[in-house]
Structure 1
Amino acid sequence: MQKHFSAGSGAYYSDSIFFLSVAMHRIMPEEIHRVIQVDLDLKYKANIRDLFEEFDKFPPGAVIGIDREMQPVSRHTFWQYRRENPRTKVGDPPPDGLPGFNSGVLLLDLEAMRRSPLYNRLLEPAALQELTEKYHFKGHLGDQDFFTLVGMEHPELFHVLDCTWNRQLCTWWKDHGYSDVFHHYYACEGPVKIYHGNCNTPIPDD
């Protein structure tokens, strides 16, 4: 995992803690069936119990609940694959594109993860190597990169949360080459349930 999804030894996302979610079903006791994992830079505007109810909305085959990335990160990191496949939806914004995922709010159905032959096969080095080569992918964001890469090939493994459950506030990519398309990724309608102050962005007081 660290080989493919971190910027190298000493980088922020190189520590093993940023990969625990990927194999949480192998770490936690079997009597624990569901886990919500969240970042620390969040502000809750709704009852977390309501988020837990999202588990009941998982479609058959889904093992993880996660929100879409709200910046054009994948448009950038998948640039070579996009150039070679001009008709692809990889890296395109929602609702029809595949913008990748943000792991600030994760619903891990541990029992479903344990039962899924597909998900567990994707944890094997050979399968992971095959995916990274196909998409010319080299990431730097830990588990988020793994989920994004897997989601490009197997979206059926994921239940996509409404953007209001992980309203990301970072606008870094708007000022770094993607101002023309940024709003397509950043838009989020509806009352915010969880604010995510990613990349040290201030969270609104109200």
Structure 2
Amino acid sequence: MGSIGWWWAAENVHEAMVKLLVDQSVNVDSANIHGRTLLSQAAGRGHEAIVQLLLKYGANIQSADELGRTSLSWAAGQGCKSVVLLLLSSGADLELADRRGRTPLWYAVWQGKTAIVQLFLDIGVDTKRTDGEGRTLLQHAVSGGSEDVVQLLIGRGANIDSTDEHGRRLLSWAAKEGRDPAVRLLLRNGADIEFADRDGKTPLLWAACEGRVYRRAASRQRR
């Protein structure tokens, strides 16, 4: 069976077939045109048995694709907790960032995978670092739309008053984009509703410009 059959077996969870092909000295680190290895594909699909088998036969756990993403990054982003735990116990680097400066935690945050985010935070991953664009984890959490992840990061000390390249705080961005749950969470945690960015716009002004209504939340925050 050629390389096509090898990839088909790995992607479709044919554990016995994968083992047979590995025993025939097939390269376990072969990659597709995007640089994704068999381990990366299996990890992203949550195929724990295949991941374990590939690791047993020497697959490179730190190999990265053309985006710089590792198998751990893909597993974290897809919320595959059992695979994430397996990769971590096998030595995967949870701080290894891709070409955009984003670690596996970033993808779990972006995709709203609360259990994975909780796991990484319990291990002690830094929540204050920024990516290559200067964006924080909390900004990505708000963009991703998971209220649970936003609250989790705030509870672990994420800075709600960090500013972006326009001098705009997260509350302004959330108000502008109509991220209602995030706006409420930020207000409950003390975000400054009067803070103006470089253009002189406050969160309420951004909300007004975009047709958003947050009068009740604002009045409660002032009390």
TM band (smaller chain): under 0.3
1 or 2 for the larger relative contact order (CA 8 Å, sep ≥6)?
1
Question: How high is the TM-score relative to the length of structure 1?
Answer: 0.23
Select the structure that is richer in strand.
Answer: 1
What TM-score comes out, normalization by structure 2 length?
A: 0.22
